[in-house]
Amino acid sequence: MHPHSPTKDRIYNRSLWESYKALPARTRLYISMGVCTLGAVGLCVSDYMEKALPPTPHGTAKSPST
């Protein structure tokens, strides 16, 4: 192939959505499942952290000493 072949130029000019749609359906499914799993884990971890380390009331946080 030439360094500036039409196929290569088309690939470089794709948007993120076009590149995603060009992936096989199974790969897109795995990516989507991974993103949803990461989101669910993030929600569970943030709920756990909020119970384990309750937020301080507004105005009572210690300011850093200089």
Regarding pTM above 0.85, the answer is: no
Cβ(45)–Cβ(38) below 8 Å: no
Is residue 39 included in any domain, yes or no? yes
Outline where 1-63 has alpha helix (H): 6-12, 16-22, 25-52
Span 4-28, average pLDDT: 84
Predicted confidence at residue 6, as pLDDT, reads 60
The domain in which residue 36 lies consists of 27-53
Is residue 40 included in any domain, yes or no? yes
Model confidence at 49: pLDDT above 90: yes
- Mapped onto helix, strand or coil, the DSSP state of residue 14 is coil
Is residue 42 included in any domain, yes or no? yes
Is residue 37 included in any domain, yes or no? yes
Predicted confidence at residue 62, as pLDDT, reads 67
Cβ(27)–Cβ(35) below 8 Å: no
Is residue 63 included in any domain, yes or no? no
Rounded Cα distance, 22 and 15, in Å:
11
Predicted confidence at residue 59, as pLDDT, reads 64
Q: For the chain, how many structural domains are there in total?
A: 1
